[in-house]
């Protein structure tokens, strides 16, 4: 039924229960109206037909708007206008997808690809202030811009998150995370400090990082790699373990990995674990509450990973489920200590871990990078612990990387925090290296 169909339209005399006054018959009067009234009636009928046609058109349009217009996707907003680069490519080039991402240059974007939009001035100014050691001024500038540039540029929030993580300020981080979740209606990022407190107390490691990559099915075949990793663990030596490529789990492999992680943690080894969150999600699929006949190995691996990720609340809840399922005492949570987590990248092999701060005399660091580059086709710089690069040192590092790129080396900088990434972008690092900021 149309919207207006409940209101009866009068197209002729028979449509109405009560005839209009000019057609109402009186006793003793003739049934025909005078001739001059017939023309008036014809005119009124034309007006009625035109009005009915307009009503039908309005009904059709409203029904089309209500029922036929596709509902926009959740969280989608108006699409950004095409950049000049996209306009030059012509109609055959698809516009960039409006997908939330934190990568300045993604895996499929060339270093010299044009940037879609210019960074907000507050992003560049805050990056320079922070690089020059003025963290307080950078914080105030970023916080003041949350209601302005931060309404449409999430990098302002990400830079502030990284500033709090670099400064070991979890309470400020959590407060900002609540505001972020409310503003963008998404899950807030988790606390993951750039440099673990235990490692920050001593001399942080910088240099080539031995790496072991586990992929495919996690079963008994991973034993040699895990043994080699345990043998390399030594005081002051940083190790990297790639877990993001594991696709299936077997109980014996879960048991081996859980024991290795527990042993490295007990020895106080410095360890960077990549892909821990992805493997934890996979392990959770193998844990069923109350299924006592199943192996406890996936449960123990999940608990070890949650401890590495410093997710205490999830750890406690999972530990209680483990206790209920197997009727044993649950393990207790311990802070991860010198173990840090990072995102898993497509490139395997040894990486060069950059120090937490690059400033002052950088000659020794640059020589070490050159020595590493001589043995590698891809110069892979791990920035997962890099908190700050002083402006002058950033300029000098760019010159050194340009020389390596000129010699045919491919350079990648992984897990860059957003404060440093904004500085590198401002200085034009995209011309010599591929930048991969860590994701929120």
Token output for 411: 């350079």
Identify the pLDDT of residue 246.
94
Contacts of 436 (CB under 8 A, 6+ apart): 103, 105, 106, 107, 345, 412, 413, 414, 415, 416
Q: Tally Cβ neighbours within 10 Å of residue 345.
A: 18
Q: Is the pTM of this model over 0.85?
A: no
For the ranges 129-143, 332-346, 407-421, which has the lowest average pLDDT? 332-346
| Tokens, residue 276 | 């821990």
Pull the structure tokens for residue 387: 């908190």
DSSP result, 294-336: S-SHHHHHHHHHHHHTT-HHHHHHHHHHHHHHHTSPPPPP---
pLDDT at 103: 38
Q: 103 with 439: CB under 8 angstroms?
A: yes
pLDDT tens for residues 206-251?
A: 788 888 899 999 999 999 999 988 888 776 678 888 998 999 999 9
Render pLDDT for 3-35 as a digit per residue (tens, 0 to 9): 444 444 444 444 444 444 443 334 444 444 444
Q: How far apart are CA 172 and CA 142, in angstroms?
A: 13
Point out the least confidently predicted range of 184-193, 240-249, 292-301, 377-386: 184-193
Give the dihedral of Cα atoms 228, 231, 237, 242; nearest 10 deg.
30
Grade residue 50 by pLDDT with cuts at 50, 70 and 90. low
Query: Given pLDDT bands bounded at 50, 70 and 90, which one contains residue 385?
Result: confident
Residue 154 has what pLDDT?
Answer: 94
Domains located in the chain, CATH noted? 211-342 (3.30.750), 351-437 (3.30.750.24)
pLDDT at 32: 42
How many other CB atoms sit within 10 Å of the CB of residue 346? 9
Q: Report the mean per-residue pLDDT for the chain.
A: 77
Q: Whole-angstrom Cα distance, residue 246 to residue 266?
A: 24
The answer to whether residue 284 scores a pLDDT higher than 80 is yes
Of residues 332 and 23, more confidently modeled: 332
pLDDT band of residue 67 (cuts 50, 70, 90) is very low
């Amino acid at each position: 039924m149309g919207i207006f169909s409940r209101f009866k339209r009068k197209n002729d005399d028979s449509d109405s229960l009560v005839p209009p006054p000019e057609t109402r018959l009186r006793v003793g009067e003739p049934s025909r109206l005078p001739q001059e009234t017939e023309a008036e009636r014809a005119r009124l009928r034309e007006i009625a037909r035109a009005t009915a046609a307009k009503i039908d058109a309005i009904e059709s349009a409203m029904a089309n708007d209500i029922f036929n217009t596709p509902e926009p996707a959740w969280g989608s907003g108006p699409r950004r206008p095409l950049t000049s680069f996209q306009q030059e490519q012509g109609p055959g080039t698809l516009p960039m997808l409006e997908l939330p991402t934190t990568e300045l240059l993604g895996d499929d974007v060339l270093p010299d690809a044009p940037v879609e939009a210019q960074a907000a001035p507050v992003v560049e100014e805050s990056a320079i202030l922070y690089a020059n050691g003025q963290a307080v001024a950078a914080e105030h500038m970023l916080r003041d811009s949350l209601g302005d540039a931060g309404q449409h540029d999430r990098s302002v929030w990400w830079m502030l998150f990284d500033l709090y993580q670099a400064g070991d300020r979890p309470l400020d981080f959590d407060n900002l995370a609540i505001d972020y979740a409310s503003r963008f209606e998404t899950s807030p990022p988790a606390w993951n400090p750039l440099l673990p407190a235990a490692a920050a107390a001593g001399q942080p490691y910088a240099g080539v990082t031995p790496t072991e990559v586990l992929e495919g099915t996690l079963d008994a075949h991973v034993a040699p790699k895990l043994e080699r990793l345990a043998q390399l663990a030594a005081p002051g030596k940083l190790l990297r373990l790639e877990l993001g490529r594991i696709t299936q789990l077997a109980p014996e492999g879960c048991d081996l990995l859980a024991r290795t992680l527990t042993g490295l943690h007990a020895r106080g080894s410095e360890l960077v674990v990549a892909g821990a969150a992805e493997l934890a999600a996979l392990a959770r699929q193998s844990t069923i509450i109350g299924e006592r006949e199943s192996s406890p190995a996936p449960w123990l691996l999940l608990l070890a990973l949650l401890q590495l990720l410093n997710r205490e609340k999830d750890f406690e809840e999972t530990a209680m489920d483990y206790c209920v399922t197997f009727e044993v005492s649950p393990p207790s949570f311990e802070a991860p200590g010198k173990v840090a987590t990072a995102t898993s990248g497509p490139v395997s092999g040894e990486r060069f871990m950059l120090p937490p701060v690059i400033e002052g005399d950088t000659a020794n660091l640059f020589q070490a990078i050159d020595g590493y580059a001589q043995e590698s086709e891809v110069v892979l710089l791990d920035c997962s612990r890099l908190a700050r690069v002083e402006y002058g040192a950033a300029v000098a590092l760019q010159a050194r990387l340009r020389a390596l790129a000129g010699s045919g080396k491919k350079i990648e900088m992984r897990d860059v925090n957003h404060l440093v990434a904004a500085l590198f972008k401002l200085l034009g690092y995209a011309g010599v290296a591929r930048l991969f900021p860590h994701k929120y």
